[in-house]
């Protein structure tokens, strides 16, 4: 069932109470019941709607001369990243500081976590040091789920292996709703273009975009789409439809949104990817290719960009590009999630 299409759902979404984000999250009566944010697959249409509306309130905060609310004052948010990152790490840090939290950064090397036990020990230690919220990035898919089993507070997944990047998918959804006419992705043709196989961004977007009723297309070299045909077939049976194609023309034609994915240069060694030049020639998002889409189609990218490879520089900075909006919306989304998690009383 596509959760966003029934009238009953619509009606309940309209009535959704939105938190007053200047106030204490513990004193809000908001229907949010998740203790962790590990992926978007468990979020209902109502959950997504609540995140979007709370993010709206946070965007308003970001526009103030002093872009801060006291929601998490005295609360310890620990950012534990086992992979290098600038934008996601800083986005969480800024989000937490805007909520007046105390932020602790830990840049862990994957090499020091040879065994699962040690990860568990690290999580227990971080909690004993005072962390109430744990933002975690790890190269191993599923690592944040293990963390959530032992951590007494809330875990936010900042990206795990190829598996999931839920805050990216939520900021992408928010950006589309913000910029698409009508404020909804329902029925809109959204294309994710590039190395889908290795992309946690793509995987999380599949969940949130199909749950929101988008007409989703995945496009890239066939070697980088392996397994997604089968997923699409299973998904269709469960009401989560999406298309998989290696034809850029088919994908881009009349698209409302085109999201180019970062090409990881190290993938070429695996033989899955042609040369960067060949990739750019066949799949790069150029002005010519973009002309196949609707005239006002949105151009998105999770960053950091390899300009001239998966996206042409002029496309990246064109009037259709909402790439920097994505970044700012990422701060608002993360503020919204930290706020909602802070208000959870009885876990879940």
Q: How far is the CB of 6 from its own copies (least distance, A)?
A: 36
| Contact by Cβ (8 Å): 61, 68 | yes
Q: How far is the CB of 307 from its own copies (least distance, A)?
A: 5
What angle, 0 to 180 degrees and rounded to 10, lies between the N-to-C axes of helices 200-211 and 166-179?
A: 50
In angstroms, the CA 288 to CA 252 distance is 11
86 binds its own copies (CB under 8 A): yes
168 binds its own copies (CB under 8 A): no
Which lies closer to its own copies via its Cβ, residue 274 or residue 308? 308
313 binds its own copies (CB under 8 A): yes
User: Between 90 and 129, how does the x/- string for binding to its own copies read (CB under 8 A)?
Assistant: xx-xx--xx---x-x-x-x------x-xx--xx-xxxxxx
Find the part of the chain contacting its own copies (CB under 8 A) among 183-191, 198-206, 291-299, 306-314: 306-314
Which lies closer to its own copies via its Cβ, residue 86 or residue 275? 86
Half-sphere exposure of 11 (CA within 13 A, CB side): 3
Which lies closer to its own copies via its Cβ, residue 76 or residue 320? 76
305 binds its own copies (CB under 8 A): yes
208 binds its own copies (CB under 8 A): no
DSSP annotation string for 178-234:
HHSTTS--TT-EEEEES--TT-HHHHHHHHHHHHTT-EEEEES-GGGSTTHHHHHHH
Q: How far is the CB of 162 from its own copies (least distance, A)?
A: 22
268 binds its own copies (CB under 8 A): no
Q: Which of 283, 47, 20, 63 is nearest to 173 (CA)?
A: 47
| Contact by Cβ (8 Å): 110, 165 | no
Site for its own copies in 321-340 (CB under 8 A): 324-328, 330-331
DSSP annotation string for 19-52:
--TTS-GGG-------S-BS-STT--HHHHHHHH
Half-sphere exposure of 26 (CA within 13 A, CB side): 6
In sequence order, what are the beta bridge partners of 216?
190, 242
Task: Count Cβ atoms within 10 A of the Cβ of residue 67 and give its class: 0-12 exposed, 13-18 middle, 19 or more buried.
Answer: middle
User: Helix, strand, or coil here: 311?
Assistant: strand
User: Between 41 and 80, how does the x/- string for binding to its own copies read (CB under 8 A)?
Assistant: ---------------------x--xxxx----xxxx-x--
Q: How far is the CB of 80 from its own copies (least distance, A)?
A: 9
Q: Which of 218, 226, 205 is nearest to 270 (CA)?
A: 226
277 binds its own copies (CB under 8 A): no
Which lies closer to its own copies via its Cβ, residue 220 or residue 330? 330
Which lies closer to its own copies via its Cβ, residue 229 or residue 325? 325
| Contact by Cβ (8 Å): 305, 244 | no
Which lies closer to its own copies via its Cβ, residue 78 or residue 208? 78
Residues lying near its own copies in the complex (CB under 8 A): 62, 65-68, 73-76, 78, 86-87, 90-91, 93-94, 97-98, 102, 104, 106, 108, 115, 117-118, 121-122, 124-130, 303-305, 307-308, 313, 316, 324-328, 330-331
């Amino acid at each position: 069932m596509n959760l966003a299409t029934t009238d009953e759902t619509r009606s309940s979404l309209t009535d959704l109470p939105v938190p007053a984000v200047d106030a204490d999250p513990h004193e809000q009566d908001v229907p949010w019941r998740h203790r962790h944010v590990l992926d978007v697959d468990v979020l209902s249409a109502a959950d997504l709607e609540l995140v979007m509306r709370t993010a709206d309130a946070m965007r308003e905060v970001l526009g103030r001369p002093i872009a801060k609310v006291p929601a998490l004052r005295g609360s310890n948010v620990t950012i534990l990243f086992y992979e290098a990152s600038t934008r996601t790490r800083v986005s969480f840090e800024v989000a937490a500081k805007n909520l007046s939290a105390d932020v602790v950064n830990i840049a862990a090397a994957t090499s020091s976590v040879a065994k699962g036990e040690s990860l568990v020990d690290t999580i227990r230690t971080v909690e004993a040091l005072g962390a109430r919220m744990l933002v975690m990035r790890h190269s191993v898919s599923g690592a944040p789920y293990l963390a959530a089993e032992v951590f007494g507070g809330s875990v936010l997944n900042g990206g795990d292996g190829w598996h999931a990047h839920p805050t990216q998918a939520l900021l992408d959804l928010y950006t589309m709703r913000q910029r698409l006419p009508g404020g909804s992705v329902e029925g809109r043709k959204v294309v994710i273009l590039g190395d889908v196989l290795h992309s946690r961004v793509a995987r999380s977007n599949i969940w949130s975009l199909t749950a929101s009723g988008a007409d989703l297309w995945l496009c890239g070299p066939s070697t980088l789409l392996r397994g997604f045909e089968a997923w699409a077939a299973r998904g269709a049976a469960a009401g989560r439809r999406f298309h998989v194609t290696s034809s850029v023309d088919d994908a881009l034609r009349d698209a409302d949104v085109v999201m180019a994915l970062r090409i990881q240069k190290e993938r070429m060694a695996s033989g899955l990817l042609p040369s960067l030049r060949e990739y750019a020639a066949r799949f790069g998002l150029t002005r010519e290719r973009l002309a196949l889409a609707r005239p006002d189609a949105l151009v998105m990218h999770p960053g950091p960009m390899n300009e001239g490879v998966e996206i042409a520089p002029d496309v990246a900075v064109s009037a259709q590009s909402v790439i920097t909006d994505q970044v700012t919306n990422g701060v608002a989304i993360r503020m919204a999630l930290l706020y909602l998690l802070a208000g959870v009383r009885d876990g879940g």
